[in-house]
Chain A
Amino acid sequence: MKDGSLLALSLAEARDGLRRRSFSARELALAHNEAVEEIEPLNAYITPTPERALEMAEAADQRLARGEALPLDGIPIAVKDLYCTKGVLTTTASHILDGFSPPYESMVTEKLWHSGAVMLGKTNLDEFAMGSSNITSYYGPVENPWRRPGDNRPLVPGGSSGGSAAAVAARAALAATGTDTGGSIRQPASFCGIVGLKPTYGRCSRWGVVAYASSLDHPGPMTRTVRDAAIVLRVIAGHDLRDSTSAPVPVPDFEAALTGDIRGLRVGIPKEYRVDGMPAEIEALWQQGAQWLRAAGAEPVEISLPMTKYALPTYYIIAPAEASSNLARYDGVRFGLRVEGNSLEEMYELTRAAGFGREVRRRVLIGTYVLSAGYYDAYYLKAQRVRTLITRDFATAFEKVDCILAPTAPSAAFAIGEKTEGPIAMYLNDVFTVPANLAGVPAISVPAGLSADGLPLGLQIMGRAFDEGTVLRVGGVLESAAQFRHLPGFLAGGRL
C-alpha cells in the first residue's frame, strides 16, 4: 500500500515510532522515496537520492535493532541544494555549477547524517538563494502544494527555500534544511503552512553552505511542527572551528524548552511593522496572535523599532555587495560551467553571462556598484552603519521584552507570474523578515491561520541572540493556540 499513514507523522512521532519498532526506517524511507516521486509535479526536488536514503535507513535500522538509536535515526530529511553534499550533485539551482559534485560535506548535513538522519535528496531553490518566490531557479519554478480554492493557478511556495518548504508541506520529507538570508526560511514556511526557524547568526555553521551573503546567511530547519524544529536544531547547532563566524556557545536541549508556559513573558508588538498597504487580514491575524499569547499568560507590549523602515534598503545594499564578491569565484576556471572564448576576458564574460540568471546578474551588478570607488561610503558604509542601528534597536527592545511578535510576510502565497511588475515589489515581501537577519537574532515562523482566499499565513516570533529556547517556547504556544490543521491540496499519500 501507499503508506500515507507514515507520511502523516510528525518528525517527533516518527522518531518515537521507530524506537518502538512500530515500523522500520526502511519502510519510512521507502514511503518517503515514493512521496518524493509523487510530488514531482511540484518540482520541489532537483536531485532525489532514493538509493542513498535506503542505505542510510538500513544502517539506521541496525542501530535501532541494537538499541543504539541516534537522535535522528531513520528520519528522512530533504536538503536545500545550497548545502554541499559529498559526491552528490550540488547546483544552487544555477546553471553555473553544472555537474558540480563537491568533495566535502557541509557541517550541518554532516551533523544530520551523524545523528542517523536519512537523506532524501536535494531541494530546489531560487538561484543562489536569491529570491522570494522560487521562480529564479535554473531548474524551473517550484509549485506550492497549496492552491486557492476554486482557482487552479499554480502558486509560488515562497523563497528561496521553496523546494524545502513545498517538500515538507506536501509530506515528501519529515524535515528539510533551509537557509535564511532575508527571510528565505520563514517566508516560504509561511506560504506553505509549515514551521521555519532561522536560528541566531553563528548558531549553525555555514561551512559547506554555498554563500549568498555571508554575514546574513543563516542555516536552519523547516518542519511541520515547532517540536520538530527544536529536535532538528539541537542536532545541527554547535560551534564549528571551520567557520570563524560560528559561535562558541553551548547547545541546550531545545525540545525541553517547549514547556508551554509563557506566563509573565513580555511580548513586544513593534508599531513600525504596521506598514502602509498591509492587508487587513494580516493585521487581524497579528492581533489574534497577541490575544492568544495574552490568553496563555504573556503580556503583549507595544514597542518601537524605529529603524525598521531602513531595513529593506540596507539589506538590498549589504546582501548584493557580499553576493557580488562571493560569486566572483564562478569564473569557469576550476569547476562548473565554462563557455570558451577567444580571450580570458571573453571566457569570463560568456561563462558568467550564460551561467547566471537575471536576478543573480542584477544583484551582482548592484553589489559591484555599491562597492565601487566613489560609491562605497555613500552606499555600503552607510548601510553598515544603519545595520548597527538596527541591531541596537533590537538590543534596546529586548531590554523591555522577552520576544517580539510580528507577521512573517505581508501577504499569502501569490501566483507564479504575479508580482512581476518589478523587483522592488518582490523585495517588499521580505519587509518583516529582513530585520532579524541584519540583527542576527533568532526568529521562527509558525502557521497561524488562513487568508481570505484559503492560503496559509504565518506569524513570527523573534528573540534575543542565542535564546532560541524562548522563541521555540512561544512559537509552540502560538502553534497550540492556532490549531492549524489545514492541509494543502497536493499531498503525498493523499489525505487521510
Chain B
Amino acid sequence: MIEGRTGSWETVVGLEVHAQVISKAKLFSGAATDFGAAPNTQVSPIDAAFPGMLPVINRFCVEQAVKTGLGLDAEIKLASVFDRKHYFYPDLPAGYQISQYQQPVVGRGRVVLDMPDGSTREIGITRLHLEQDAGKSLHDQHPTQTYVDLNRAGVALMEIVSEPDLRSAEEAGVYLRKLRSILRYLGTCDGNMEEGSLRCDCNVSVRRPGEPYGTRCEIKNLNSVRFVMQAIDYEARRQIQILEDGGTIEQETRLFDSNHGITRPMRSKEEAHDYRYFPDPDLLPLVLDPKWVARLHAELPELPDAKKARFVADFGLSPDDAEVLVAEREAALFFERVAQGRDAKAAANWVMGDLFGALNRLGVGIEASPASAEQLGALIDLIADGTISGRLAKEVFAEMVASGADPAAIIETKGLRQVTDEGAIAAAVDQVLAAQAEKVVEYRAGRERLYGFFVGQVMRATQGKANPALVNELLKKKLSG
C-alpha cells in the first residue's frame, strides 16, 4: 500500500519473464547456444532465415518447457501451436519471431511466495510458452551503422506470464527470486540475469483498495531484481501522482532508465506494432504424449517448497533457516550432504554462518567452495567426538578454506588436538591459580565474575587445546577447595 496525498493506493503488478532455456542447441536449429562466443559464429542458415530454410522443433527444449510447467504446478497442454509474430528489425532475420500465441504449451499454474513476515502468498501463472530469441543489434561499433550479431537469434526462451496478483515492488522481487530458484532447481534456466538469461517485463497499475484494476503501463526488458523493484516503485508513484493531480493513465510501453531510476515512454500508440500473428505453416501443431509428460512429472527433482518443508520436518530446522538453505539448489544439496548422519542444526549453523561468510568474502558460489561438504562434515564429527573444541574448529575451518586441506590433516599438522589428559590440565590449572593468587583471593571473596578470566588463562596456557569441560570441572574444584 502506498500512501498518497489523498489516501492509500494499491499497486498491481503482473510480470512477463523471459527465461532462456538451458539447451546446447537452438529452438529450431542445431546451432550452438554458448554465451560469449565471437559474433555470428553460432548461426545456421535457418537462424539467419536464408531462403528455403525450415525450422524443426528441438525436442529437448520442449522437454525443458514441460518440466518448467510441471514445476510451476501448471496445466500441460497436450496440443499447442507455434505462431509467427511479425515485425521488421535487422536482428530478426525472418521478419517474424516463432512464438506461441493463442495455444501455449503450458497453461495455468502457481508459485507460492514466502513473505518476510512469515506469511505465504500464492501468485497465479497465466501461461508459459516457447519462443525464439532475436539477435543483438550493436549500435556502438560504428558511428553511422548498426552491426548485427545473430548468435542469440533462435535461442529458445520460455515466456512465463503471471497473473496481476503481485501487490508491491517487494512482492515482485520475492516472486522473481522464487521463480529463478524453481527454474534453477529444474535445470531449465540458469537464471543468470547479467548474461540476459532471465529478463523481465512488468505490467504496473495502481488503484484504490477494493476498486477495479487501473490502466496499466508495461515496463520492458529489466535485467535485475533490483531494477524490477525500483522500476515498479517509481512507476506506481508516477501513476499515483498523475491520478491525484486529476489526470488519467495512458496505456503505454515504457523503459526503465537505471541511471536515473525512472521510467520513460518507449513508443507511442501510432508506432504500435500489428504483429499479424498466424500459425506457422512450416511447423505442425506440437502434440505431446501424455505418458511422456507423466514420466517427466515422475522424474521432477524436489523443488524448494518441498525441500523446505522436509528440512523443517526431518531436520528440525526453523522455517527461516530452511528458507535460507533451500534458496539455491546447490546450497541445499551441499547442506544435505553435510547434515547426512549428523546434528542437522550444527550443520545448518556451519553452512549458513561460517561457510556462507567465507564464500561471500571470496566472492564465489557454493559450487566453487574450497571446502567440500564431506570436509565440513568431518570437521563437525571432530567437534562431536571431542577431538577439537568448537573454538579451535573455527581456526581449522579457516585453514580448510585457505588450503582446501582435510580438517584431520590440519589438526595433525598444527597440533590442535584437544587435551583431555586430566593430569596435564590439572597442572595447568594449578599453575594459573598459583600465578594469580591475588585474583583467587578476590574470587573467593565473592568476585565470581573472575571465573571467566581463569578459564581464559587456562586455555591460553594450553594453547586453547584443553577440553573445556575438563577445564571447568577442575577449575571449579580447585577454586572452591
Q: Which residues of A contact B (CB under 8 A)?
A: 83-84, 90, 92, 97, 100, 102-104, 106, 206-211, 213-215, 241-245, 321-322, 324-325, 328-329, 331, 333-335, 344, 348, 368, 371-373, 376, 380
Contacts and interface: CB of A to CB of B under 8 A. Distances in A.
A380 B276 CA distance: 11
B9 to A, nearest CB: 33
A245 B284 contact: yes
A245 B282 contact: yes
B28 to A, nearest CB: 9
Contacts of A209: 52
Contact of B93 (A102, A210, A334): A334
Interface string B53-88: 111110000000000000000000000000010101
A333 B84 contact: no
Contacts of B48: 334
Contacts of A371: 86, 276-278
Contact of B54 (A206, A321, A372): A206
Interface string B255-295: 00000000000000000001011100111100000000000
Contact of A368 (B51, B57, B276): B276
B148 interface: yes
- Measured as residues with beta carbon below 8 angstroms from the partner, the interface class of chain B is 20 to 34
A207 B94 contact: no
A325 B96 contact: yes
A328 B274 contact: no
Contacts of B301: none
B198 to A, nearest CB: 29
Contact of A106 (B52, B84, B88): B52
Contacts of B49: 329, 334
A328 B86 contact: yes
Given A214-B281, A242-B56, A244-B56, A331 B90 contact: yes
Contacts of B213: none
Contact of A243 (B45, B54, B90, B276): B54
A207 B54 contact: yes
The 4 nearest A-B residue pairs measured at CB: A328-B95, A214-B281, A215-B281, A371-B276
For B55, B95, B281, B282, the residue with the greatest tally of chain A CB atoms inside 10 Å of its CB is B281
B148 A333 contact: yes
B453 interface: no
Contacts of A373: 274, 276
B282 A348 contact: no
Contacts of A333: 90, 93, 148
12 contacts: A207-B54, A208-B53, A211-B51, A211-B52, A213-B281, A214-B281, A245-B282, A334-B93, A371-B86, A371-B277, A373-B274, A380-B278
Contacts of A334: 48-50, 93
Nearest to A208: B52
Contact of A321 (B50, B55, B95, B278): B278
Given A328-B94, A376-B278, A97 B45 contact: no
Interface in B84-109: 84, 86, 88, 90, 93-96
A335 B51 CA distance: 10
B136 to A, nearest CB: 14
B94 A329 contact: yes
Contacts of A335: 50-51
A382 to B, nearest CB: 13
Nearest to A327: B95
B267 to A, nearest CB: 14
A328 B96 contact: yes
A215 B279 CA distance: 11
A329 B52 contact: no
A323 to B, nearest CB: 11
B44 to A, nearest CB: 10
A335 B277 CA distance: 25
Given A325-B84, A333-B90, A214 B282 contact: yes
A331 B55 CA distance: 20
B268 to A, nearest CB: 16
Contacts of A368: 276
Interface in B119-154: 146, 148
Nearest to A100: B51
For B50, B276, B277, the residue with the greatest tally of chain A CB atoms inside 10 Å of its CB is B276
A239 to B, nearest CB: 12
For B54, B57, B86, B88, the residue with the greatest tally of chain A CB atoms inside 10 Å of its CB is B54
A254 to B, nearest CB: 25
Contacts of A207: 52-54
A331 B86 contact: no
Given A84-B52, A208-B52, A242-B54, A104 B276 contact: no
Nearest to B274: A373
